[in-house]
């Protein structure tokens, strides 16, 4: 209400100052400048959703005055248009421009927060997968410890105190296994159980993707020593996520999976060629599709093992390169 009344006052003063323009004094000329500045500031800083209606209402007396005295009425309307309407429109334009810029900044900030949230979720999801792999590995070892402790407890030549110690060892192993299972259950994300067995090899993964319709060339170089369990799971995840991305973003492309084990380091390189137009090659069926955050999760898993991961376009396709140290007793934790 106050904003509209202010605009009406400015428009009324412009109409009055626009009468009798023959030989106007200097102070009236400065008044026009002051009215233009006031109209601009009104449009720039004050809300004026009904500004057009108010200016039209203010122009009515000037239009009526043109019937009585055409030149005075025309001068008043000209003063209203030049020194009020145009500056007010300029102020409104600057206000809307500033609002658009602020909305753009807020949108960019919101998108950045969403990207950070997605990256954090991918990191937590990958850590949960690592915890699940640890459960599979440690649970098996603890079960063997409990089994051997049970066999030791039944030994005929065991003394009473030693038999009691073996029983306590077996009970501790069983309790540790149960605690590990409960902890991993809390960390594991809700959802359907994975259909892929945890001991699936990279060769079996490649064969499964080939059966789904992908063209994959698997090459291995260097040593063929057995991989530590965590490194083996990480290598499997790198190949799996790379094949998933190739099936999603480059259906029909040729994929090369290269494994090289030299000098205590396993290098995994998965490269796909330029994608074939989707109208020519159907998307493979049976290959899992990720949610766009798999690379961030892979980078976290590889980092926790002391390795590095690089992913990006190359020669029209996409390449993922991971280097994993095989010595997990050292810095790869």
From 102, 332, 96, 113, select the one nearest 231 (Cα to Cα).
332
Residues with Cβ within 8 Å of residue 181, at least 6 apart in sequence: 135, 139
pLDDT at 323 (0 to 100): 94
- 222, containing H or E segment: strand 215-222
Q: According to the model, what pLDDT value does residue 332 have?
A: 44
Q: Nearest Cα to 167, choosing from 184, 182, 150?
A: 150
Q: Look up the CATH number of domain 202-325.
A: 3.30.565.10
Helices (H) and strands (E) in the chain, counts: 9, 5
Tell me which residues of the chain have a pLDDT lower than 50: 191-197, 278-292, 330-333
Looking at residue 288, its pLDDT comes to 41
For the stretch 214-259, pLDDT in tens is 889 999 988 878 888 888 888 988 998 888 888 777 777 899 999 9
Name the residue among 27, 24, 13 with its Cα closest to residue 61: 13
**What DSSP letter does each residue of 49-98 carry, written as one string?**
TTHHHHHHHHHHHHHHHHHH-HHHHHHHHHHHIIIIIHHHHHHHHHHHHH
């Amino acid at each position: 209400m106050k904003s509209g009344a202010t605009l009406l006052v400015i428009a009324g003063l412009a109409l009055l100052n626009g009468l009798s323009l023959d030989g106007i004094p200097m102070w009236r000329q400065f008044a026009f400048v002051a009215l233009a500045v006031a109209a601009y500031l009104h449009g720039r800083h004050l809300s004026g959703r009904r500004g057009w209606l108010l200016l039209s209402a203010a122009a009515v007396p000037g239009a009526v005055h043109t019937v009585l005295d055409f030149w005075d009425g025309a001068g008043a309307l000209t003063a209203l248009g030049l020194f009020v309407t145009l500056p007010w429109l300029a102020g409104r334009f600057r206000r809307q421009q500033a609002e658009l810029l602020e909305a753009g900044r807020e949108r960019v900030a919101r998108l950045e927060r969403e990207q950070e949230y997605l990256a954090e979720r991918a990191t937590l999801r990958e850590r949960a997968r690592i915890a699940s792999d640890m459960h599979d590995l440690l649970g098996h070892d603890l079960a063997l410890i409990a089994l051997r402790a049970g066999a030791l407890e039944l030994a005929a030549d065991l003394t009473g105190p030693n038999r009691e110690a073996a029983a306590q060892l077996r009970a501790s192993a069983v309790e540790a296994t149960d605690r590990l299972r409960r902890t991993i259950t809390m960390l594991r994300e809700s959802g359907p159980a994975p259909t892929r067995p945890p001991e699936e090899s990279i060769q079996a993964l490649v064969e499964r993707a080939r059966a789904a319709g992908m063209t994959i060339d698997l090459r291995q170089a260097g040593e063929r020593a057995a991989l530590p369990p965590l490194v083996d799971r990480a290598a499997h995840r790198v190949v799996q996520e790379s094949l998933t991305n190739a099936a999603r973003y480059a259906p029909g492309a040729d994929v090369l999976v290269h494994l090289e084990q030299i000098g205590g380091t396993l290098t995994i390189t998965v490269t796909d060629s330029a994608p074939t137009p989707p109208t020519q090659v159907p998307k493979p069926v049976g290959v899992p599709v990720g949610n766009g955050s798999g690379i961030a999760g892979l980078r976290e898993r590889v980092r926790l093992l002391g390795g590095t991961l690089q992913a990006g376009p190359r020669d029209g396709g996409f390449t993922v390169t991971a280097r994993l140290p095989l010595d997990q007793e050292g810095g790869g934790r």
